[in-house]
């Protein structure tokens, strides 16, 4: 069999965004294919929500990436990567951007907290920040402010996770990228890019495409992802991941 690793985004790829509404057909398809190749989740979900979907899937033990690559677990459930943004850096980020975003969220204490900076103790170790921007004119300003910081980060601008009328900007440690996390898994398993299928829908998924021969965007993906994909699968609502499995894994047997 040609392909050995199926790397999957979660939200709006295998389940509708922000839910654990896992289709029984999708669950069975992933369980069946996991008996033949490695299936790894590569998601921006924080630990709590990542574990919810992982438990629902009931897959064999594997490497998985969550919090956008800030954290990786091995097949024993042990954390083998844990990247944080120090509090002093978080404060610098907020100082230069606070005039321009409408809301800010923090990935902290194993979950995304959207209560606002005044209600969050960033001393505990932030792995990511999310900015809600409701006025398009502020997007390039925020992006430039972040680029001009002395410390570099992984920054993603794309469709907002709650409303198509807003823009979302996600920020993580420079090495907290889904692609870097997926490449770590490949290295551990001795799997190469030409043996890898990556499936996603959003800006954070683009780095996975750099390490995969098959780059799949679901139909509901952002245009910037579709442009880089070499296959467009049916949408998450049409259980597109089943189409991917049938085409590239069962179809190649």
Average pLDDT over residues 26-52: 97
Q: Quick check: 125 pLDDT over 90?
A: no
Q: Quick check: 224 pLDDT over 90?
A: yes
How far is it, in rounded angstroms, from Cα 38 to Cα 59?
10
| Global confidence as pTM | 0.94
Q: Which domains does the chain have, with CATH numbers?
A: 5-82+176-252 (3.40.50.1000), 87-173 (3.30.1240)
Give me the chain's average pLDDT, please: 94
- The residue among 39, 48, 40, 42 whose CA lies nearest residue 20 is 48
Lowest mean pLDDT among 24-33, 110-119, 125-134, 243-252: 110-119
Q: Which pLDDT score, from 0 to 100, does residue 109 have?
A: 77
Q: How confident is the model at residue 71 (pLDDT cuts 50, 70, 90)?
A: very high
Q: Which pLDDT score, from 0 to 100, does residue 116 have?
A: 65
Would you give the distance in Å from CA 123 to the centre of its chain? 24
Q: Quick check: 244 pLDDT over 70?
A: yes
SS3 35: coil
% residues pLDDT > 70 (the chain): 95
């Amino acid at each position: 069999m040609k392909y050995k690793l199926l790397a999957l985004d979660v939200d709006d790829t295998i389940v509708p965004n922000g839910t654990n509404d896992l289709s029984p057909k999708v669950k069975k398809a992933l369980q069946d294919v996991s008996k033949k190749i490695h299936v790894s989740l590569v998601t921006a979900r924080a630990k709590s929500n990542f574990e919810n979907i992982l438990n629902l899937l009931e897959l064999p033990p594997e490497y998985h990436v969550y919090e956008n690559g800030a954290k990786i677990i091995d097949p024993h459930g042990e954390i083998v990567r844990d990247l944080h943004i120090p509090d002093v850096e978080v404060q610098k980020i907020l100082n230069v951007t606070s005039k321009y975003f409408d809301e800010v969220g923090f990935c902290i204490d194993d979950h995304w907290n959207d209560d606002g900076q005044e209600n969050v103790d960033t001393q505990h170790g932030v792995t990511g920040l999310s900015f809600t921007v409701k006025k398009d004119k502020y997007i390039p300003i925020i992006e430039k402010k972040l680029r001009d910081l002395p410390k570099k980060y992984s920054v993603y601008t794309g469709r907002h996770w709650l409303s198509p009328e807003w823009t979302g900007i996600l920020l993580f440690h420079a090495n907290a990228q889904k692609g870097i996390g997926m490449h770590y898994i490949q290295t551990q398993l001795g799997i190469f890019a030409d043996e890898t299928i990556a499936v996603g829908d959003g800006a954070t998924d683009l780095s996975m495409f750099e390490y995969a021969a098959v780059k799949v965007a679901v139909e509901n993906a952002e245009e910037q992802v579709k442009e880089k994909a070499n296959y467009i699968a049916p949408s998450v609502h049409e259980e597109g991941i089943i189409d991917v499995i049938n085409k590239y894994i069962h179809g190649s047997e």
